[in-house]
Amino acid sequence: MQCDSTQLSNPKPENHRHSSTAFRFRRIVDVMLSLMGPVALCGGLSAIVSGCDRTPALPVAYRALPTLALPAGDSSAGNLVFRNECEKCHQLTPGKNFKGPQLMNIYGAKAAALSDYTRYSQALKTSHWTWDQPTLQRYLADPGGALPHGKMLYDGLLDAKERQDVIAYLATLRSPVPISKTVTPQS
């Protein structure tokens, strides 16, 4: 059975009798769909409700392990900066993209390279950037100035020490790509 937003938000029941519990459950799914979209739920909760038997189209993408040396900075302080400034939009778990892409193995990776994150700006896709210390310094200080027409809605991290610390923290986020047939390693 195909999984599409029409099917998930407007199922055609086989019988027209619905219990109040089923109706409430259907309403919860509808609200979740309106917030996250059908692809986020396909293969999960919506599969139970709608009969969708397809998993999400994009496999979880992993970046290759960074090869750059660790930069200077206090990674513990950077962790706190990340939690306060970045975590609202960026997660650290492959496959868990929010407003922005997940950031595991970001340091030393090519920009806009995760195949399971589909909201990169055209400007970032064509930047040919590598997320190294100078690029991250410039971008985190002023995302809009460093990359006009980018999509990151953030005013910038003005404190140079905090930027250095968060870059040191990002550089410590290293996780090997799991061995699996469904994984798509990214460079």
Helices (H), the chain: 5-9, 20-36, 38-41, 45-50, 75-81, 122-125, 133-141, 143-146, 160-172
First-last CA distance in the chain: 34
Contact call for residues 43 and 54 (beta carbons, < 8 A):
yes
d(CA 175, CA 105): 7
* Res 80: pLDDT: 98
d(CA 152, CA 107): 18
Confidence of residue 15 (pLDDT cuts 50, 70, 90): very low
* Res 2: pLDDT: 45
Q: What angle do CA 48, 52, 54 make, to 5 degrees?
A: 120
Task: Kindly report the average pLDDT of the chain as a whole number.
Answer: 76
CA atoms within 13 A on the CB side of 127: 22
Contact call for residues 92 and 107 (beta carbons, < 8 A):
no
* Res 55: pLDDT: 40
d(CA 75, CA 81): 9
* Domains assigned to the chain: 5-50 (no CATH), 61-186 (1.10.760.10)
Who contacts 129 (Cβ-Cβ below 8 Å, separation ≥6)?
110, 111, 135, 139
Who contacts 40 (Cβ-Cβ below 8 Å, separation ≥6)?
56
pLDDT at position 128 over 80? yes
Model confidence, pTM: 0.61
